[in-house]
Amino acid sequence: MKSTKWFDRKFDFNSQQNIFPSIIERLRGTPARLEEICRSIPAEYLELKPEGTWSIKENIGHLADLEPLWQGRLEDFINSEKELRPTDLANRKTDEANHNSKSLEELLSTFRLVRAQTISAIENLDEEIIYRSALHPRLKTPMRTMDSFLFVAEHDDHHLARITELMKL
């Protein structure tokens, strides 16, 4: 089964319950899930780019590449910005990073490190910040801090699913 393209995804952020603790645990677990998946990938699959798409290594590098964006958007919420900072929709950072030249261990370690920084920044937020809202620049919809990090968790899972998909090609 082929996954839906990320930019085609629709999101519903209507939950009034504070699910932020569960979101944090999901985000905290992504490096371990990624490492577990990568344990079974033959080395010759890591750099394959089927039909010009990102390789497994590039998908891993992309997760680390976006972590400063997530951290910056947290700053936007804390600072009560009206709109969240935009991302480079062309993903130039990932395309130019040459992740295929890096070792799998380096990519996994880098992601684990930057994700730990994000977790450290969000794990003690109070409810006022968790429910604070700003406009998402691409989706053009209000998003709370909690929603923003649910979006990050969904993005993580999208790339984990893509890596699993690439293993089967």
pLDDT of residue 1 exceeding 80: no
pTM of the predicted protein model? 0.91
Three-state secondary-structure class, residue 89 = coil
Return the residue matching tokens 């504070």. Answer: 18
Alpha helices, DSSP H, located in 40-144: 56-78, 92-96, 104-122, 127-130
The pLDDT-based confidence of 166 (bands split at 50, 70, 90) is very high
The conformational region for residue 136 under phi > 0 = left, psi -120 to 50 = alpha, else beta, is beta
Quick: pLDDT tens for 32-84.
999 999 998 999 999 999 999 999 999 999 999 999 999 999 999 999 999 99
What single letter denotes the amino acid at residue 141? T
Domain extent listing, the chain:
17-167
Superfamily of domain 17-167: dinb family like domain (1.20.120.450)
